Structure 1
Amino acid sequence: MSSIVIYFSRSGENYFGGELKNIEKGNTEVIAEYIQELDGADLFKVEPAVEYPADYMECIDVAQKEQQADARPEIRETLESIAEYDTVYIGFPNWWGTLPMPMFTQLEQLDFAGKSVKPFVTHEGSGFGSSQKDLAKLCEGADIKNGLSIPGANVYDAKETVKSWIED
């Protein structure tokens, strides 16, 4: 049984408990790497062809405009197939209540029929928002399992939580 983590993560200026901080590694990437370590999963990072602005406020402004336009931003590299995987972990930060739009670009191109999908989200209090409804559409034919929701400020203390969730 093989697995893959398809994720989007953003480093740089991010929001934590009411203040902006610069982080070297995005919160979602920290969790993706825990999953790789604990489950042996392959990693695939979805990266926009055009980087988001480094400034957090500008970034979320761009992200909101993309969402309002139902945009499908071009991505640097496309994962062509998940045929060889049984389990697909899908990770993302909650941006405006759902997945960042580059995740839509990637996920819409994959065939999820018969796959087990385990979503995880990093956030600052908003949890999954409406992303689970969007995931149900994006991952048509998949068995979507219980998701894992982790506040960004807690990612470095979440390894045991991630382990329990993987084993669940």
Structure 2
Amino acid sequence: MTHDKKNRYSEMGSQAENAIALSRRRVLKAAFAGIAAGLAVPVLPRLSACAAEASGNKVLIVYFSRTGNTREVAGQIHKRIGGDMLELKTAHSYPAAYRATTEQAKREQEEHFRPTLTADVASVGPYDVIFIGYPNWWGTMPMALFTFLEKHDFAGKTLVPFCTHEGSALGRGPRDMAGLCPNAKILDGLAIRGSHASEAQEDVDQWLRRIGLSR
């Protein structure tokens, strides 16, 4: 290679390095300008908590909630692992008064009543892991959950119970669930006092890690 060619290659290399450095300075300048102006600056995507959604399984979070406590816990589960959510609704309503609701719930249980659902999924087939949330009514799930569990085929599914309560914990809910879904796997459940539902995120997180559905 001649001396002139060497000089030309050296000049080309320096120009390329200068162009790269200039490009970097422009990017940084634009970024700082965006920050100063209060604009959103693109960043590299990060894995969210939902990226670990139950180790790649498709998740459904089903719950029934009259006062909103069970809904609150369902939302905390969803915050950590994602998935689809379904709040069961019935064709009939429950009284606003607590005592009247407990009396109606007791009658429904004694009569083996199966409420008509006005909110449901067409099939649980696409899901691998299904959370079942309920307030503990007279030691077990509200009858709306019985309707739901009897309607669908849970063979081969993993069911995960959780409930809100004021002293009875999960009750016999998981046992009744197992009786209705004999071919499903049922994991250890979580019971949260209704009065503490809004502050239960740490308990929810620890439970999800313990049963292997979150990191």
Partners of 2:121 and 2:114 lie apart in 1 by: 15
> Aligned residue for 1:88?
130
- Aligned with residue 54 of structure 1, among 96, 116, 136: 96
Residue in structure 2 matched with residue 14 of structure 1 by the alignment: none
Q: Between Structure 1 and Structure 2, which shows a larger proportion of helix residues? A: 2
Which of 149, 153, 157 pairs up with 2:195?
153
For 1:76, the aligned partner's letter is T
1:140 is displaced (CA, Å) by 2.2
Q: Matched residues in 2 for 1:80 and 1:115: separation? A: 16
Asked if structure 1 preserves the Cα contact closer than 8 Å seen for 2:86 and 2:120, the reply is no
Structure 1's unaligned 5+ residue stretches are 12-25
SS, match of residue 76 in structure 1: strand
CA contact (8 A) 2:160 2:188 kept: yes
In 2, the alpha carbon distance for the partners of 1:112 and 1:62 equals 28
Q: CA deviation at 1:77?
A: 2.3
Which one has more relative contact order, counting CA pairs under 8 Å at least 6 apart? 1
Q: Which runs of 5+ in 2 are unaligned?
A: 1-56, 211-215
Contact 1:35 1:41 survives alignment (8 Å): no
The structure carrying a bigger strand percent of its residues is: 1
Give the percent of matched residue pairs that are identical in Structure 1 and Structure 2.
42
Q: Which residue does the alignment assign to 1:71?
A: 113
Task: State the partner residue of 2:58.
Answer: 2
Q: What secondary structure sits across from 1:81 in the alignment?
A: coil
* TM-score for the superposition, normalised by structure 1: 0.88
1:41 deviates by 1.9
TM-score, with length taken from structure 2: 0.69
| Letter of the 1:87 counterpart | V
